Chain A
Amino acid sequence: MDIFEILSPLSVLLCFIGVFIGIIFGAIPGMTATMAIALFLPITYSLDMVDAIALLIGLYVGGISGGLVPAVLLNIPGTPSSLCTTFDGYPMTQKGEGEKALKIGITASIVGGFFSLTVLYFFAPVLASVAIKFSSVEKFLIIVFALTVIASISKGSLLGGIFSGFIGVYLSLIGMFADNNQLRLIPPGFEEELAYGFSLLPVLIGLFAIAQILQESEEGMKASPHQTFDFKKEKKNRFTFKIFNGQIINTIRSSMIGTFIGMLPGVGGSAASISSYSQAKNFSKHPEKLGTGEPEGLIASESANNGLIGGALIPLLSLGIPGDSTTAVLVGALLLQGIQVGPLFIPANPDLWDGIIYALIIANIVMFLLMFFSIKHMAKIIYIPKYIIYPIIIVMCVVGSYAINNGVMFDVWTLLLFGLAGYVFMKIGIQVAPFLIGFILGKELEKYFIDSLKGSGGDLTIFFTKGPIALLLWMLIAISIIYAIMDNRRSKKAGDQTITPST
């Protein structure tokens, strides 16, 4: 059907506005795509269905993509799924290649976006029925697989990194266990505040933004070397699409991982970019360079990130099961319009289905254009003196933390607590990135572990006897760990180069 029969000029405009606002939300530390969509939910009620969905898809695409800006420029992941973007993005900024890094990230994003949307369009129903074949056992193993990245990004001490990761997992368990509504691990007196545990977002931006600000204030807020880089210097090492020449396989593999993990209901979006980064490192010809400002890592994280979007829509639109928390909010939007998502959604609503696909196409293109051409200006953020930008970041983080659960003061305290904790972590050698990955994935790890045992009556052998997919996943896990250990050995032998962890 013709694109303009379905999308009115208004819906294209709304999609545009959606992407624009989405990028802002994604770029502000503490605001997420999920939040943007939830906020606009009541507004969509007054809109036409296709217009509403165009706006929301725009917000979704923009929100996921915008996260890369602060991740690259300020070493603060704007959304949890851009955590891995900081690993190579920020080192590039420190080398004076911030603009280039952003452009690489955006290009990877649009490739991931289009990849997943193609998969969504052509294979949605088939893949969805594969997705529900993944029971809790397989999901548990996928989370374990994502966690193996901890081993490969541990800097210096491998054991130290793993230890940090497990601390992260442990702290994520604080609060109520959903099945039996029982509280655990809560320090006495905090039963009310910690009933739901520490919220991810304040923890994330506390560890990154506040900790970094504390560290810099200890050093007296001096201007960083990369702030004085001359702009012209970047001309020599400019962004061209040629960077992607050797990265085609990486880009496609990462998009695939992103789409696939997005597709699995109940496995969070962050797992996508984390696993994809880990794979990029395993397959890389020079794994030791990843984490020091290599486009390769950036591409892996960002293409997986946007691959996620189409992936998460697969089970939603062809089965009615949201693939992640953001699509769960989309269900709300459809329901407010009286449209039920379920296995018959696509055949029953052909116009809406086309509308969604067109909206995705437009949103991806708008995202690319908006970001690609405004990057020159955005990249200048790093030249703003710290005494101006840091206070702004703090207030944004506070607002974001307060708002993430719709107005909870304790989340602001969480932000500050983990800011301080992150600062102390740096001093005593607990590694922040492994800690965070453990924290992000911990709850899901537990859920699927317990769910698997509930199914097997407590029998642990279920993890090995479940079926071929489980065995395949075990193999992947083993390979990933072996690679990580070899890589760690190699980089240690390479002469204990002073790899200074950037956070």
Chain B
Amino acid sequence: MKDLLTVELKFSEYHTIFPKIMLTILIFLAVLMLLLNIVKRIKKGTLTAFRFQFFIDNYDKLKFYGTVVLLIAYALVLERIGFLPASILFMFLITLLFIGNIKKKSIVVSLANSLATSLVIWYLFGQLFDITLP
């Protein structure tokens, strides 16, 4: 009993003790959830019925993938071309994407939004507050 309740402590292994315990709990919980789920399914008689849909029906492919791509591109160029140009470009494109058309008005709105926000953030945080910007 005493052994069970004692954890072997070794300085150079301190860092592995707790993650091991957590992993054990996680595996235990996962197995438990799986078993409960199987039991439930057997009761309902739907053991083999799998229906999992990741995206909602008719999801907006353009906006979704567009957002993902723009976000990644933004992060990629941020440090290369600097905060101001990257943000203005990114905001212009993403606002346009969210509006969803390229009418003249949309372009104006996007441009205004991107310029105003980027400049204000740049001035306020980068210059006045001296926050380190990309």
A binds B: yes
The residues of A with any CB-CB pair to B shorter than 8 Å are 39, 157, 159-160, 162-163, 166-167, 169-170, 173, 176-177, 179-180, 182-185, 210, 213-214, 217-221, 386-388, 390-392, 394-396, 398-399, 402-403, 406-407, 409, 412-413, 416, 419-420, 427, 445-446, 449-450, 453-454, 457-461
The residues of B with any CB-CB pair to A shorter than 8 Å are 5-9, 11-12, 14-19, 22-23, 25-26, 29-30, 32-33, 36, 54-56, 59-60, 63-64, 66-68, 71-72, 74-75, 78-79, 83, 87, 90-91, 94-95, 98-100, 109, 113-114, 117-118, 121, 125, 129-134
* A residues less than 8 Å from B72 (CB atoms): 416
**From B99, which residue of chain A is reached at the shortest CB distance?**
A387
A320 to chain B, nearest CB (A): 28
- In the complex, the answer to whether A180 meets B15 with C-beta atoms within 8 Å is yes
Report if A453-B78 is in contact (Cβ < 8 Å); known contacts: A39-B130, A387-B98, A388-B113.
Answer: no
A162 to chain B, nearest CB (A): 6
- In the complex, the answer to whether A427 meets B54 with C-beta atoms within 8 Å is yes
- In the complex, the answer to whether B114 meets A218 with C-beta atoms within 8 Å is no
- In the complex, the answer to whether B16 meets A184 with C-beta atoms within 8 Å is yes
- In the complex, the answer to whether A395 meets B132 with C-beta atoms within 8 Å is no
A399 CA / B60 CA spacing, docked (Å): 28
* A residues less than 8 Å from B121 (CB atoms): 395-396, 399
Q: List 25 A-B contacts (CB under 8 A).
A: A39-B130, A157-B33, A159-B33, A166-B25, A166-B26, A170-B26, A180-B15, A184-B15, A210-B71, A214-B68, A217-B98, A218-B59, A387-B99, A387-B109, A391-B98, A391-B117, A394-B71, A394-B74, A398-B74, A399-B83, A402-B132, A416-B71, A446-B18, A449-B18, A460-B6
* A residues less than 8 Å from B29 (CB atoms): 159, 162-163, 166
Sample of 13 further A-B pairs with CB below 8 A, known A166-B26, A420-B68: A160-B33, A166-B29, A170-B19, A170-B23, A179-B15, A180-B11, A387-B98, A391-B90, A391-B113, A392-B117, A396-B121, A412-B78, A458-B6
Task: Pick the contact of A218: B32, B64, B83, B94 (CB < 8 A).
Answer: B64
Task: Pick the contact of B125: A210, A387, A403 (CB < 8 A).
Answer: A403
Task: Pick the contact of A386: B14, B98, B131 (CB < 8 A).
Answer: B98
**From A21, which residue of chain B is reached at the shortest CB distance?**
B129
B2 to chain A, nearest CB (A): 8
- In the complex, the answer to whether B60 meets A220 with C-beta atoms within 8 Å is yes
* B residues less than 8 Å from A419 (CB atoms): 71
A478 CA / B67 CA spacing, docked (Å): 45
The total number of A-B Cβ pairs within 8 Å is: 164
Task: Pick the contact of A219: B19, B22, B59, B125 (CB < 8 A).
Answer: B59
**From B19, which residue of chain A is reached at the shortest CB distance?**
A173
Task: Pick the contact of B133: A179, A217, A403 (CB < 8 A).
Answer: A403
- In the complex, the answer to whether B132 meets A416 with C-beta atoms within 8 Å is no
* B residues less than 8 Å from A221 (CB atoms): 60, 63, 98, 100
* A residues less than 8 Å from B36 (CB atoms): 159
